Amino acid sequence: MLGDATTRSISTQIRSALTRTVTGVGDFNSLSQIGVAFQRDGSLAVDSTKLKDAISTNFDDIAKLFSAVGTATDSGVSYVTQGAKTQSGNYSVNITQAASVAP
């Protein structure tokens, strides 16, 4: 399987997913920032000191690396949900009319 294109493609996709940076989720934007990184042989290694430090100082932002979350900077706006095609990042919201309640 060493030369198999499908196996190589799957391996590349997994590596890409684990090394990708995520924007707009908090203090951490990649696994390497919390001590998880690939070694030269392709295996994953955990720097337990770095991970423990990140957990003890900022657990909520670590959780954001593994889940779809959103936050609003204005108390008048709420983040409700995301879709399968939602891209990470910061979005501006321009409210031009107050909401009304139907009679």
Q: Express each pLDDT in 9-41 by its tens digit.
A: 888 888 887 788 877 667 888 888 999 988 888
What pLDDT sits at residue 29?
84
**Residues pairing with 44 in the sheet:** 38
Percentage of the residues of the chain whose pLDDT score is greater than 70: 93
Q: Is residue 62 within 8 Å of 34, Cβ to Cβ?
A: yes
Picking from 64, 12, 10, 15, the residue whose alpha carbon sits closest to that of residue 44 is 15
Q: Which tens digits make up the pLDDT trace of 50-64?
A: 999 999 998 888 887
| Distance, CA of 28 to CA of 84 (rounded, Å) | 22
The residue whose two tokens read 């031009």 is 96
CA distances from 75 to 37, 55, 72, 78 (A): 37, 27, 7, 7
Higher confidence at residue 84 or residue 45? 45
Band of residue 97 on the pLDDT scale cut at 50, 70, 90: confident
